[in-house]
Structure 1
Amino acid sequence: MSNVGACSYDGRVTVTASRASSLVEDLNESQRAAVEHRGGPLLIVAGAGSGKTRVLTRRIAHLLATGDAQPGEILAITFTNKAAGEMKERVAELVGARARVMWVSTFHSACVRILRSESSRLGVTSGFTIYDQADSLRLMGMVLRDLDLDPKRYTPRSFLAQVSNFKNELIDFETCAARAVNHMEQTLAEAYGQYQSRLQRANAFDFDDLISGAVAVLQLFPEVAEHYRRRFRHILVDEYQDTNHAQYTLIKELVGQGTAQLPAGQLCVVGDADQSIYAFRGATIRNIEEFERDYPSARTIMLEQNYRSTQTILTAANAVIARNSSRRAKNLWTDSGQG
C-alpha cells in the first residue's frame, strides 16, 4: 500500500513540476525571475510593451502549480474593469475553474466586496447604494442650496472635486474642519460634513467612499484586518504608479506588518513611473519611487525588453524619458530590429 501511495505522490510531484516549468519556459530571464520570486515584497518595473500582464498571470498560475498558494489566497487588483476582465480571462485560461475562487478585480470592486460584509460597522447596511458621479453632484447641489450658498461662486462640481481629493488623501470632514483657516475652507468643511451625513442617511457610499470605507474598517477593527490578512496571502497590484494615498494605504493594511503568528502577506506590484496617467485624481508616483523604502526587504526586477515597438522608436522614447531626473534608470530595448 505504501508503495502505491509513493508512486501516486511522485506522480503528482512530477506533474506539478512539469506544469510549473512549462509556465516559464517561453519567458525571458527577467520575466522568469519575476514569476518565480518568493518571499519578500516584489517590485516589477515594467516598461511599455514588456509583457507585464503575461508576467502577472503566469505568476498567479505558477503560485498554484508549485503549491505555494491556494486560489482563495490570491487577490489581484488593477484599475479598470477592462484590465480586470482581461486578467480574469487569461488567468482562467491558465488555471481553469480555480480562477473563480480568486479575487481578480479593480480596487473599487474589491472594496465593495469587503464593505458588503463589514459596512454595518460604519453604520451602513450591507444593501447600501453606490452613488455615481451624477448622484453625487445632485446631492452636493442639495447641500449647497441648504447652506444658502451662491451657486455661481460655490458650484457642486468644484466642491465635489475638493471633497474627492480629501477622501483620496483619507482626510475626513472633522479633520477638514479642524484645519480650516479661512471662510472658504470652513464652508467647504461644512458642506463636506453635510454631504457625508446625507450619504449615511441614504444608506449610500459614493465612489471615493468605497476605498476610504474599506480602509476605515481595516484600521478601526483589528479582527477584520486579521481576517483579510489571513485570507489573502498573496496580493498582486497592477499599474502601481497610478495608486493614490487611499489605495496605497488599503494595500498596506491588507499586507500587514507581520507577526510571529501571522507573517505579512506576499506583495507583488507592477508599475512604471514613466507611464503614470492619474495624477489628476490623486495618483502619486511616490508610491512606486519609494517602494523599497516602504518595504526594505523588497526585491526589484526590471522588465526592459519590449515586444511591441522597433528599436528606432524605443531609442527616441528612452531619450525623452531620460530627461526626468527623479526616475529610476531604465533602458527599453528590443530584438525586433531597427524598423
Structure 2
Amino acid sequence: MTVSLEDVRAAAERIGGRVRRTPVIQVAPGLTFKLELLQHTGSFKPRGAFNRLLTAKENGELTGQGIVAASGGNAGLAAAYAARELGVPARIFVPVTTPRQKVAKLDTLGAEVIQTGDEYAEAYQAALQARDESGALLLHAYDQPEVVAGQGTIGLELLEQAGMFDTVLVAVGGGGLIAGIATAIGDNARVIGVEPELAPTFHRALAAGGPVDGPVGGVAMDSLGGRRLGDLAFAAAEQYDLTSLLVDEEAIVAARNELWREHHLVVEHGAAVAYAALASGVYKPAGGERVVVVVCGANTDPTTLG
C-alpha cells in the first residue's frame, strides 16, 4: 500500500476550499519556515482529516454513525473540526495525559471526548472497539492513504511558494506528515525526519527494517507519541530514501523558546522538533544550502514559554 503523487494532487483538489494555504516566510538567508501552525485547529492535521472524510462521503462510507478517531490531541481536533464542517457526529478518544487546552478545544468543536489510557496506542484500541460496535468511520491519525495524501498537499504548496530549496526538515511521530510531503516533493528536494530521542519511532523502524513498537515519552509526547511508525511512512522512507535525526529534550525546549523569542511563534513542543535539529547543530546545512522547516502546530499553553 502506497500513496502516489496523483493521490496528493487529487487531495489538493478535493480539500482546496476547506483548508488554508498557509504562508511561507524567509527568516534568514537560506532558511524558510512553512507556517502550518496557522492551519485550522492550529496544526496541519485538517488536510488529512478532510481528505479522508470527503473521500468517504464520495464513496458512500460516511453515514449517520459519524466518525471515531484516536489522538494525542491535534488529530482529534482536526477530526472534530472536519466532522463539524460536514455535519456528522464525532467521537474522539484521547489519552488522559492530553493537555487540557486540547481537550477544551475538542469540547468547543462539538465532539464527544473520551479520555482513556496513558498513551495514544491505548486510545486507538478504544477507538477501534467503538468503530466495531457502532459502524462509524475510523479516521486514523496518520496511517491511512487519504490522510497521508492530504498532508502531502503541504509539499505541493512548498513547491509553488518557496522557490528553489534543497532540504525540508519535518517532525515525525507516526509519519503521516513526512510520508505525504516526501510523496509530493519527490526528487525536487531532500526530506529529512526529526524525532525526539524519547519517541524515536522512525529511527527504530529504519534500524529494524520495518515499523516496530517501542516506548515513547518526553515533552513532545502529546503530538509525537505514537509507539509505532505507520506502514505508509515506512514505504515512503524506502521509496524516497528518507533519514531520521534525533534531538534531545533540552534541544526541543530550547528551540520552542527560541521560536517565540526570535520569531514570535507560539508552538507546541512537537512543532519545535524540526527546528531543534538546526538550532542545536544536529543538522548542519552545507554552504549555500536552502532549508525549509515545517512549523506544524500551535496547540500549547503560551504561559509555559521562556
Q: Same fold (TM over 0.5)?
A: no
Which of structures 1 and 2 has the bigger CA Rg?
1
Whose strand fraction is larger, Structure 1's or Structure 2's? 2
TM-score by length of 1: 0.29
Whose helix fraction is larger, Structure 1's or Structure 2's? 1
Higher relative contact order (CA 8 A, sep 6+): 1
